[in-house]
Structure 1
């Protein structure tokens, strides 16, 4: 316990000295999704203004390019599991687009049957899964950029994610459960009764050892992937948990909601490491894959009440 306490204190001290925020305002409307690529050299943001902006990250964050092409809001985006230049976006215009940041072009547009709201790229890079408002999940073969399969569910699905080996899919449901499916057979392997209210979001750590679930009951649960058992529950938020993200070393978990702060917790103990104070609700967060930097998109407004079109990054030193 003494060792765990010492590690917690070291993490807390790190964020006391690395607590500066940098802001980017490149969109004209609300930012729905922010994600780092697998190397942490680029970050993408998708917005209600129908655009995607790519940023380069070295000593500082700088804009590289704005992608246009979608005819509806970009609700969620996902990077290739190990190719740092390929990005996929899900839009309400009933399409998925795959972009190459080397050429700054859309290399493929895949038409789907509904307004897309969530998307995930398998860790092996072979498949993109996208879900729409009618709870239909479409599976896209990234070798051909064609639809491989579709699966319609008779319950609410809020977010989807692959496990580390890309042979299972995890679905968060409106039933307060996590549905685990085999892939590519899509057989139901397990139903985890995770929360008494809707399960909203999910994230896996890089090692594949843990996954975390955010729920409408304002709780965040941390699970052991191998045993499918809940290790601990975090309860510092008061509103439905909209987004969660693991740090690169699987030591921290960030959780956010309509509460005006982001909670960063120690996975080992469940205790708070730090609190990022905000002025509005947060709907997308992403830890950097190699360091303690957290990107987050809030529902900030300009002085005239319009969307600020911004996101921020936390974790810089003086």
Structure 2
């Protein structure tokens, strides 16, 4: 299923970004005419590329989990992975294995798949109303969170969670630092906690006096409503967070200061993705239309991808300027290297 090798563009300058993409049309990846009709009822909740960018997977609210060859948009070249009995909330490829995919559904079931053989190789149940997951960078474990503030450490080869932890506040879609020693947890209070892994203990503390009985834990503050998702840039320079307040905040990971905010979205930010070089960031919203691309270092708006409707899930490819996104229940890809 892997695509043929093609030369890739190196970093595109900010003032040239729109010139590269203006003339390009997105490629739809439709399922068979006899299959589900496109539309918001069958929304794609999550999009994931494998580590080398040769496969892209989609997980949907109608329980459909599908893996596509980005070079071949016809559905007959895709693979449907069957087994989930509830809507799929989040999917992610193992960061060190090209063909191992993890998915979580809102009935509390996590499945690990070998996409080459189309088989589920491990399953963990009874995780509550699970809705978020993140792979540790070494691919040895997955952290899963549910809507009751519980987090579970899960092995790809064990049928039960390795450990669980009840947190004091509900969390949303989390992200690891690239060493795997820290995990960033966005909360329903609008803050982002920075915890050690796998201990899940606060790493940073305030260095000024607090009232007796109050926590000294240092948290990131960048939203006036629930923080829904977070993503670390490939360079590790910025942590991006998306909130129900329609804002993306960019935190400098050296001083943990919010350097800039992006406020062009019109609805809650459900997903965030950086380009492979960390130069540009895009957010997916559950309202409005269009995808706004922002230059990370300056906060300047550089391009708008026109869409028919809201795009809840977005994902830049890990190796090139190629954006996958959902639009009215259909996967679409726009690739600057496509001939």
What TM-score does the superposition give when structure 2 sets the normalisation length?
0.84
Q: State the shift of 1:259 in Å.
A: 2.1
> 3-state DSSP class of the match of 2:26?
strand
What stretches of structure 1 of length at least 5 have no aligned partner?
1-5, 301-308
What stretches of structure 2 of length at least 5 have no aligned partner?
1-11, 37-41, 204-217
Q: Indicate the residue corresponding to 1:210 in structure 2.
A: 238
Moved over 4 A (4+): none
Matches within 5 A, 1:128-167: 128-144=142-158, 146-167=160-181
**Counterpart Cα distance in 2 of 1:238 and 1:92:** 26
Matches within 5 A, 1:34-113: 34-58=47-71, 60-62=72-74, 63-113=77-127
Matches within 5 A, 1:1-318: 7-17=13-23, 19-26=24-31, 28=36, 29-58=42-71, 60-62=72-74, 63-144=77-158, 146-189=160-203, 190-257=218-285, 258-298=287-327, 300=328, 309-316=329-336
Q: Is the 8 A contact 1:126 1:143 kept in 2?
A: no
What is the root-mean-square deviation of aligned Cα atoms in Å? 1.8
- Between structures 1 and 2, the one with greater strand share: 1
> 3-state DSSP class of the match of 1:158?
coil
**Counterpart Cα distance in 2 of 1:114 and 1:250:** 34
Q: Is the 8 A contact 2:122 2:158 kept in 1?
A: no
Q: Is the 8 A contact 2:28 2:73 kept in 1?
A: no
Figure out how many residues of one structure are paired with residues of the other and give that number.
302
Q: State the shift of 1:205 in Å.
A: 1.6
**Counterpart Cα distance in 2 of 1:54 and 1:143:** 21
Q: State the shift of 1:142 in Å.
A: 3.0
Q: Indicate the residue corresponding to 2:215 in structure 1.
A: none
Q: State the shift of 1:315 in Å.
A: 3.2
**Counterpart Cα distance in 2 of 1:282 and 1:33:** 10
> 3-state DSSP class of the match of 1:242?
strand
Q: State the shift of 1:245 in Å.
A: 0.4
